[in-house]
Amino acid sequence: MSKPKDGVSDIPLLDPPLLDRADVRVKHATGIGGAFEAFITRVKSGDLGFLPVIIGLLIICTVFQILNPVFLSSSNLANLLFDSSTIGVISLGIVCVLMVAQIDLSVGSVSGFASALVGTLWVNLGWPVPLAIIAALIIGALIGAAYAFLFNWLGMPSFVSTLSGLLAFLGLQLYILRSTGSINLPFGSPLVSFGQLLTVPSWLAYALVALAAVGVFVTNYRTEQRRKASGLSTQPMVSVAIKALAIFIGLEFIVFYLNQTRGVPWIFGLFVVLVVAMNYALKQTQWGRSLTAVGGNPEAARRSGINVRRIYMSAFMICSTLAALGGILAAARLASASQQAGTGDVNLNAIAAAVIGGTSLFGGRGSAYSALLGIIVIQAISSGLTLLDLSSSLRYMITGAVLAIAVIVDSLSRRSRMSSGRA
């Protein structure tokens, strides 16, 4: 009889049980079939993850593609990505405050104010662009710090403080732009090109996607090796490889499709980089863990020695800074800083995107990717309705309905999680 090679054909009873598999009462998912079963159980118990938003996106794409074949064309998609990036960046900040069960209603005004500031400093006062941008970002951070101060030390609900901020910064934006009403940013300047034209060279886009897939594989492979060495259960190597391969093929196809016409916008690249960085910060750092804990149970977090006030401070500051950045990107996209910038539906679209993407309004649950997926849903609806020559009145109504559905899904899945003990 030959010796079994790598433990796969070993009789399991003779092995010492793995550290996390010692409890005989628990059914553990094994192999790919098991992983699928575990997924079904998770969804049934209300842990939906990105499932609703992906299903929603598929429905939206199918409907609009049937109504107008231009919808899924390469150039329309590239356009959609250009448009998504500005509000998407704002939405990423909203994810941060929603994680600690707070809200920032002033992101639209702050973004408009930041764009007006950049326009004034750069075009009217002749500051260098980078300096004007940095100044606007710092102002954004200070606005967030002010909200956090009101919340932490004066106990002002963020709902109210940011509502007053909404009015105050809208006023400031109108005041700055009072003489002209709007400031045109010069065409051909790097900032405007970045917002309107520049795309990633096709070879670089392919290479970056390949690099990302390899990165995913290597990190997962290393983790599994460490788990094995530490006596913990491991995923089969096949599923690690399949996951990386799926990412590789999926993203390369998207890049290939976009490269048929305009390519992948740099501005969208920036957005994705911010999303990935935020995801890392939320999932892999002590700060993100503390943020999630504060959103779930602030008192428990405080008793664990977390400085809860500092966590609130960081969440509000990141949100306002990203709102300012989103405003600057929007100004670059439109090549102007106007009195209309950041008004209307910017605020609610940013919040809606985070919620549609699956970040809970109740705090403690969310992901950076929800901003990415949510804003694509919102922009897809907007772009589809524009292609059908439907007025903005209908767009508002449909976006409102989608937001309502998203919040209903959030509430229902929360209730279902509670009844099956998965808060």
Query: In the complex, which residues of this chain contact other proteins (CB under 8 A)?
Result: 19-20, 22-23, 25-26, 223, 226-227, 230-232, 284-287, 289-290, 292-293, 295-297, 299-307, 364-365, 417-418, 420-423
Q: Please state the closest distance from residue 319 (CB atom) to other proteins, in A.
A: 20
Nearer residue to other proteins within complex by CB, 19 or 131? 19
Instruction: Compare residues 120 and 292 and give the one whose CB is closer to other proteins.
Output: 292
Minimum distance between the CB of residue 97 and other proteins, rounded to whole angstroms? Answer: 16
Give, for 142, the enclosing helix (H) or strand (E).
helix 129-154
In the bound state with other proteins, the residue whose beta carbon lies nearer, of 290 and 336, is 290
- Would you say 322 and 90 are in contact if contact means Cβ atoms under 8 Å apart? yes
CA dist 42 and 48 (Å) reads 7
In the complex, least distance from residue 405 CB atom to other proteins, rounded to whole angstroms: 23
Taking the C-alpha atoms of residue 115 and residue 214, their distance in angstroms, rounded to an integer, is 38
Residue 101 is which amino acid? A
Triad 100, 398, 392: Cα angle to 5°:
110
Residue 364: partners with Cβ closer than 8 Å, 6 or more residues away = 99, 101, 292, 293, 295, 296, 297
Q: How far is the CB of 422 from other proteins (least distance, A)?
A: 5
In angstroms, give the least distance from the CB of 289 to other proteins: 6
Nearer Cβ to other proteins (3/25): 25
Distance CA 279, CA 363 (A): 16
Min dist. Cβ of residue 368 to other proteins (A): 16
Distance CA 208, CA 203 (A): 9
Q: How far is the CB of 99 from other proteins (least distance, A)?
A: 10
Alpha carbons 216 and 233: distance in angstroms, whole number: 20
Nearer to other proteins, 38 or 163 (CB): 38
Q: Which is nearer to other proteins, 333 or 365 (CB)?
A: 365
Crossing angle (nearest 10°) for helices 237-258 and 202-229: 170
Q: Rounded to an integer, what distance in angstroms lies between the CA atom of residue 202 and that of residue 39?
A: 36
Nearer to other proteins, 260 or 285 (CB): 285
Distance CA 406, CA 372 (A): 15
Half-sphere exposure of 392 (CA within 13 A, CB side): 2
Q: Which is nearer to other proteins, 155 or 305 (CB)?
A: 305
> Rounded to the nearest whole angstrom, what is the least distance from the CB of residue 243 to other proteins in the complex?
17
